[in-house]
Structure 1
Amino acid sequence: MADFAPPDDSKGAYPTEGKMSGEVADKGYHQPPKPTNSPKRHRKSDGRRRNPAAKRTSAPGQKGPRGGRQAYAALDLGTNNCRLLIARPSGQDFTVIDAFSRVVRLGEGLALSGRLSDEAMDRALGALHVCAEKLRRRNVFLARSVATEACRRAVNGAQFIDRVREETGIVLDIISAQEEARLAVLGCHVLLEQGDGPALIFDIGGGSTELILVGPGEGAIPRILDWQSVPWGVVSLTDTVMGGMTAGQADDEQGRLDLYAAMRRTVDESFAPFARRIGDAPSAEDIRLLGTSGTVTTLASLHLQLPHYDRRAVDGLIVPSRSMRDISANLSRLSLADRAKVPCIGTDRAELVVAGCAILESILDLWPAERLGVADRGIREGILRSLMSGDLDRGTRT
């Protein structure tokens, strides 16, 4: 296992060290702010943005000034998807009252150009306008909106964040890879199989993949022992490897297999430092594995032979790893047109699913568990749990 202090070693499971990577949105979603000549905003001494006009109303879960229970929101703008959850506390959990998800391909072309394209930003803004309207209608009490790898990597990422605020009123914070891993664990760890052995949680995104090794922690939340983020997700890996192929190289089955092998090599090289740190994994029957991403939920749907995606059937499912490998191998041989005809894949995922399969198989080589837990939950749920439990220390009310 890792022979150095892990990122969260000093303060238990999820220390913030007085600071968080992402920040709470500092305004309501009633109208976009008017442009000013001065971009500076008032900051408190703890470094968090606060809305000076925000009223300290009721505590989380209590009734607000309009009556009814408070609504909380989590928005995750990733490299491939824009996702929103709005929920109310319900005992130790929460009840979702509104949700939104759209494929925006924000990171399309980023791996080769280093920039967010105008077309990609326009797609993302279209989705964010929908999110802003939902936030207005639901009178959200407390929200956190985050952006991940595409905005971290793009040279014009900060400018895009400014444009989003000006046009939609949504304040996006570009969170670190470590914070992304923390939120993913917080959002899905309840689906880990019971056991005493070590566990690996992973999140295959559009622009990056996070690997998080966890062990027993304080209470129900596991302790992060080690983690690594690599810059390969379904969009970035597809763009990079496909960009290096000659025209027509993947037109036949052998060409597609060569493409898949190139993806596997690329991912394996990036995973190598993490593999060296954790050493040899224990025997397959002693280890646990949990994945959260569109890749694992899609492949789990194929394992179940569902005619269309059903979250209730997939979230929390335990799938034999061998089945996921077989499905990945079969998909890697199919043409783009044939993949688009497969139930639960369709045109939206047909181009990107092979890269997800390559990343998943590399993870199964790294951590050869016999079974794979599937989670249709992650960063957004982690944000909501943080907001509702007070992890953000009285974050700004919208």
Structure 2
Amino acid sequence: MVRKPGSGNSSAGLNPEHMYLAVIDMGTNTFNLLISELNDKGALIHLFSDKISVKLGKDTIHRNYLSADAIRRALDALSIFFEKIRNYQPIKTAVYATEAIRAAVNRDQLLHPAQEKFGIDIQVINGDYEAELICMGVRQAVEFSDQPAVIMDIGGGSNELIIANRSSIFWKHSYPLGVARLAEQIKPSEPITHAQILELEHILENGLTDFFEAVARYKPTVMVGSSGAFDSFADMIYHVDPVFTHPYTVKSNILGYDQFINLYGLLIGSTYAERLKMKGLIEMRADLIVLAAIIVRYLLERCKIVSLIQSEYALKEGAAEALAEQILSGKKI
């Protein structure tokens, strides 16, 4: 059993007999917090979530380097999160660092002060484990069948691509082709040009060779996008389609192919200033959402995907489930 997380401070009325878990996902563009409850029936209930834009890779990701400003933003975000975590007194707080930090040559300049200040062990996870946690999170939100589907997580530093069904992961890989990295590489105009779109498609075609081979082998026809940009796609579609379910009232949504293609056309023809005014697009995603849309459109066409699903759940929900499983099995955490 998994319930949707709320927002705001919901620590009032906490049950002292239940166990609370906290997860922080230190992503390249965004830090995410999730507080969950493991109740006396072994059910995991997501209580509270929050996100803060940190943009760890801003201007330096191409050098695999964390700037002093990025480190300051990261520590500030962690301070805000730990203030909220203290309200719940969790039995375990797990902190995961992903691509921007694992690739940074100076990552200890962030990890050491963070661990000393907050008394935590930050786990710098590899891409394979990141993909596994994403899959665990998405499965909580989306009902898979026995047929293989593509799961995609679009990050700032890396993109995770997974082929899985309801019970098995057939193939997974993490690619250092996140939208922040791609933006540094192609330096898109406002609006992006046709030549720049072709350049991005060329990078994807050459960089995802083994993924395309896996698609040819397993023949998935569904893509599930995990949170992030896919939440924004769903929210923007909701604001132009009155029969579409609001993405923050459900854990997942089917995004119509035509709906997405119409949104894609709107995004690639827009400037940053115009995107800031678009309903459903939060400010922290306005700069890189165009590149995310191009990646999704290209993979849908290249892989002959016929159905696109947005999952509100991603890595942090998967990490919470992994922690809960460790507790229920009696393993030390």
Which category of TM-score, normalised to the shorter sequence, fits these structures? 0.7 to 0.9
| Distance in 1, Cα, partners of 2:330 & 2:200 | 42
Equivalent position SS for 1:102: strand
Aligned to 1:84: 33
Counterpart for residue 342 of structure 1:
278
Give structure 2 stretches of 5+ with no counterpart: 1-13
Aligned position for 2:58:
108
Mapped to 2, the partners of 1:94 and 1:350 lie a distance apart of 33
Residue 260 of structure 2 corresponds to which residue in structure 1?
324
1:212 is aligned to 2:162: yes
What is the rounded CA distance, in whole Å, between the counterparts of 1:346 and 1:312 in structure 2? 13
1:320 and 1:370 in contact (8 A); partners too = no
Runs of at least 4 residues of structure 1 off by over 3 A? 90-93, 190-196
CA gap 1:162/1:224 in 2 versus in 1, 3 angstroms? same
Please tell me whether residue 236 in structure 1 is matched to residue 181 in structure 2. Answer: yes
Secondary structure in structure 2 of the residue aligned to 1:387: helix
Q: CA deviation at 1:295?
A: 1.1
Cα 1:230/1:105, change in 2 over 3 Å: same
Shift of 1:322: 3.1
Judge which range, 337-346 or 298-307, deviates more: 298-307
Which structure has more relative contact order (CA 8 Å, sep 6+)? It is 1
**Aligned partners of 1:95 and 1:138: how far apart in 2?**
14
Matched residues in 1 for 2:294 and 2:312: separation? 20
Aligned-residue CA RMSD (Å): 2.5
Number of the residue aligned with 1:121: 71
**CA deviation after TM superposition for structure 1 residue 223, in Å:** 1.0
User: Does 2:329 correspond to 1:395?
Assistant: no
1:303 corresponds to which of 221, 224, 237: 237
Question: Is the CA contact 1:281–1:367 (under 8 Å) kept in the aligned structure 2?
Answer: no
Secondary structure (helix, strand or coil) at the match of 2:89 reads coil
Distance (Å, rounded) in 1 between the aligned partners of 2:35 and 2:217: 41
SS of residue paired to 1:372: strand
The amino acid across from 1:260 in the alignment is I
What residue is the counterpart of 1:173 in the other structure?
123
Say whether 1:74 aligns with 2:11: no
Is this contact kept in 2: 1:209–1:231, CA < 8 A?
yes
Maintained 8 Å contact 2:300/2:306? no
Distance in 1 (CA, whole Å) between partners of 2:206 and 2:250 is 31
Match of 2:97 among 135, 141, 147: 147
- How far apart, CA to CA, are the structure 2 residues paired with 1:140 and 1:194? 31
Q: CA deviation at 1:266?
A: 1.6
Partner of 1:96: 46
Conservation of the 8 A alpha-carbon contact between 2:141 and 2:252: yes
Q: What is the CA-CA distance between 1:393 and the residue it aligns to? A: 5.8
Q: Does 1:361 align with 2:297?
A: yes
CA distance in 1, matches of 2:282, 2:168: 38
Q: Matched residues in 2 for 1:306 and 1:237: separation?
A: 29
Would you say the 8 A contact 1:165–1:171 is kept in 2?
yes
2 CA distance for matches of 1:368 and 1:192? 21
Shift of the 299–155 alpha-carbon distance from structure 1 to 2, 3 Å rule, reads same
The letter for the 2-side match of 1:110 is T
Identity score, percent: 25
Distance in 1 between the 2:332 and 2:261 partners?
43
Unmatched runs of 5 consecutive residues or more in structure 1 = 1-63, 217-221
| Residue in structure 1 matching 2:313, options 367, 377, 380 | 377
Tell me the amino acid that sits aligned with residue 196 of structure 2.
L
Amino acid at match of 2:29: N
Residues 1:130 and 1:276: Cα distance change in structure 2 (over 3 Å)? same
Query: Given the two structures, how large is their TM-score scaled by the length of structure 1?
Result: 0.73
SS in 2 for 1:71: strand
Q: Is the 8 A contact 1:132 1:169 kept in 2?
A: no
Shift of 1:167: 2.4
TM-score (structure 2 length as normaliser): 0.86
Q: What do the CA deviations read for 1:214-264 (whole angstroms, capped 9, x no partner)?
A: 135xxxxx211111211112222112211xx7xxxx25x5x5333233222
Contact 2:180 2:288 survives alignment (8 Å): yes
Deviations 1:41-84 (A, max 9, x none): xxxxxxxxxxxxxxxxxxxxxxx9x9331111111000001111
Match of 1:265 among 198, 202, 205: 202
Alignment-mate amino acid for residue 297 of structure 2: E
Name which of structure 1's ranges 321-330 and 128-137 shifts more when overlaid on structure 2. Answer: 321-330
Give the conservation status (yes or no) of the 8 Å contact 2:238–2:246. no
Cross-structure match for 1:13: none
Of 197, 212, 236 in structure 2, the residue corresponding to residue 275 of structure 1 is 212
Count of residue pairs the alignment pairs up: 315
Mapped to 1, the partners of 2:309 and 2:282 lie a distance apart of 23
Cα distance in 2 for residues equivalent to 1:346 and 1:194: 29
8 Å contact from structure 2 (residues 22, 93) kept in 1: yes
Residues 301, 263 of structure 1: alpha-carbon distance in 2 compared, 3 angstrom cutoff:
same
Corresponding residue for residue 6 of structure 2: none
Secondary structure in 2 matching 1:260: helix
Q: CA deviation at 1:208?
A: 0.6
Question: 2:4 aligns to what?
Answer: none
Q: Match for 2:117: what amino acid?
A: E
Instruction: Check 1:174–1:142 CA distance in 2 against 1; reply closer, same or farther (3 A cut).
Output: same
Aligned to 1:18: none
